[in-house]
Amino acid sequence: MTAPPPPHSPAPATSPSVPSRTWAQRWHDLRIALRNVPRALALVWQAHRLGTLALLGLTIIAALLPAAQAWVAKLVVDAVLVAIQAGTDPLVGVQQVAPLLIVGFILITLAATIAQAFTLLEHMLNARLAHTINEALLTKAIALELRYFEDAEFYNKLQNARREADFRALAIVNNLFSMLQSTITLLSFSGILLLVSPLITLVLIGATLPAFLVQARYAGVYFRLLSNRAPEFRRMQYIEYLLTVDSTVKEIKLFGLGPSLFHTYQELFWQFYREDAALARRRSILSVLWGTLATASFYGAYAWVVWRTIAGDLTLGDLTLYLVVFQQTQSTFRSLLSGAGQLYEGALFLDNLFTYLAQEPQLPTAAQPRRVPRPLQHGIEFRAVSFYYPGATEWAVYNINLHIKAGETVALVGRNGAGKTTLIKLLARFYDPVEGQILLDGIDLREYDLDDLRRAVSVIFQDFVQYQAPLSDNIGYGQVERLDDDARIRHAAAQGGADAVAAALPQSYATLLGRWFAGGQELSGGQWQKVALARAFMREAEILVLDEPTAALDAEYEYELFTRFRQLTQDKTTLLISHRFSTVRMADRIVVLADQQIVEVGTHTELLAHEGHYARLFRLQAQGYS
């Protein structure tokens, strides 16, 4: 047997650390951020168009208010000074200044109203954006093939995509609008400052640049740090799952695993905390140091304006105006740069989301896909089929040649890992063979419409799902388009033996199953298996696949199922996978797999007479009952 080429060995897991980054890496990150900004805007626009437009309009209005408020304050101070110098009666002076005060009141009230409108719109956008992103994540998960869900790297991408995606997307939009507001405000302030001194304008603005560069540098470092932690974050989530879910908690408590698992959880948390704290400390210290420079530049400009006012070059109104403008110019520019830094960080994090969403199904589709013939005429043929899983170094099945006639029942027998379930995955076209072909009525599976092909196949897997849903839904999910067909559900239940389960439940088919939700009823393993069997029979399929269909059934019901098997599988091409030879004997033919290959084919009687693998396994199992 020839093994597939060995995959690249994965790098050993290491603890994330703060990397030193080259200018090329920083330029690469900047290009990623610039690429993702319009994508984030598209997400927000998709989530709530009217809300996005409203935010834009409010931003422009809010941007012009600070300069208007500062100018009104100057006019009030100058008017008061004139009234004092002219000895105007206080009441008359107040009347003269009153229009300006009313304008100031209107401006402040408008600013407060806009702030509340911002809060309301952000709340609405946040909820709708979170839904839009989750919708995209789930839609992509539905579209992707099984191969993705059997790959650890896929879950790392999903972990990174889900973390803070909605928060980051909304933050990008908020930062963009904030930057737009700051830019408009800054331009209005700059027009006033340039009348005083272009040099002062440059000093006030330039002093804020170093703090911005520090924030931008550490934004990239933080993004890389969190992205590299995806496997460890998933491990933490897995431990949370183990400690809190009913399907695992029994064994956790029995073996006393809780404290050990919790200790591992704590170790991971404190490792992340120490790394985050060290990064945050360095970021904060440098930001404070460079922030001090900005503050010094403000007070230098403050002293210069005071000197010019004392010298008589400026009025008290001018002094008031320039002091407000000085302070707000630097504050606004700092806000602009801070918004740019947060925009850069958020856009980097959103690259995880867009990387996940960029994954595409890899199964090729026919240009003109065929419909599956109903009923089948010739059956299924595996022709020299070989397959290995992505990243594997050994064949999962090798050189499989098998023809299953239409309407025939074939059992697959072999040890765990022999390739039985892999053949079912290939038949359902979760994967395509690496070598060879699988034919359905003489046509390669790849020529059929994928959805129609899967509608033609009904499978009960050994690890079937126990849906925390009503019994009727648990059965009806076998053919979801007939979920409301009560007669069909009851017929399938009778075929699988779930009608007896329904009779024992307080609300019959309407009874909620499982313990996750209030009022749910838990079933025994055998009862769940009857429900799963009913779900398989619910599907109006040409091909029926039963993977260990009687593993959890008692001997009495297994015998009942055996006696009805021909009736239940009438007009269906059936594959059975089982370790129980009482089940295997239901088949027309038995296929024995060993070492990923077919080693024997025949009826139960023929294989016993052959004295090969099957006979040996049969006698070993029979000894257990003697």
Residue 136 — pLDDT band, cuts 50, 70, 90?
confident
CATH topology for 32-357 is: ABC transporter transmembrane region fold (1.20.1560)
For 588, the 3-state DSSP assignment is coil
Q: What is the pLDDT of residue 362?
A: 79
Looking at per-residue pLDDT, the higher value among 380 and 618 belongs to 380
Q: What is each CA distance from 97 to 37, 80, 106, 386, 433, in whole angstroms?
A: 47, 7, 15, 91, 86
Question: Residue 16 pLDDT > 50, yes or no?
Answer: no
Measured CA to CA, the distance from residue 589 to residue 602 in angstroms comes to 5
Mean pLDDT (the chain, rounded): 77
Q: Which residues pair with 545 in a beta bridge?
A: 459, 575
> What is the pLDDT averaged over residues 353-357?
81
Q: What is the pLDDT of residue 438?
A: 92
Q: What is the pLDDT of residue 444?
A: 92
Q: Which residues pair with 204 in a beta bridge?
A: none
Q: What is the pTM of this model?
A: 0.66
Buried b (16+ CB within 10 A) or exposed e, 350-379: bbbbbebbebeeeeeeeeeeeebbeebeeb
Q: What order do you get walking across the sheet with 409-413 strand by strand? A: 457-460, 543-547, 573-577, 409-413, 589-594, 597-602
Looking at per-residue pLDDT, the higher value among 322 and 380 belongs to 380
Measured CA to CA, the distance from residue 372 to residue 376 in angstroms comes to 8
Phi, psi dihedral angles at 119 (to 5 degrees): -60, -45
Domain residue extents for the chain: 32-357, 380-623
For 459, the 3-state DSSP assignment is strand
Looking at per-residue pLDDT, the higher value among 93 and 624 belongs to 93
375 cis-preceded (ω within 30 degrees of 0): yes
pLDDT tens, residue by residue, 526-570: 888 888 888 888 888 888 888 876 665 666 666 666 666 677 777
Structure token pair of residue 258:
């809780």
Q: What is the pLDDT of residue 13?
A: 39
Q: What is each CA distance from 70 to 67, 94, 167, 190, 312, in whole angstroms?
A: 5, 19, 34, 13, 21
Percent of the chain residues past pLDDT 90, beyond the cut = 7
pLDDT tens, residue by residue, 234-256: 777 778 777 776 666 666 766 67
pLDDT tens, residue by residue, 183-232: 777 666 666 666 656 666 666 555 555 655 555 555 555 555 555 666 77
Q: Where are the alpha helices (DSSP H) in 87-196?
A: 90-143, 146-149, 152-162, 165-196
What long-range pairs does 614-620 form, CB within 8 A, spacing at least 24?
A: 614/413, 614/590, 617/413, 617/581, 618/581
Looking at per-residue pLDDT, the higher value among 307 and 6 belongs to 307
> What is the pLDDT averaged over residues 296-316?
68
Q: What is the pLDDT of residue 208?
A: 57
- Which of 142, 470, 180, 114 is closest to 332 using CA atoms? 180
Residue 620 — pLDDT band, cuts 50, 70, 90?
confident
Q: 380-623 has which CATH code?
A: 3.40.50.300
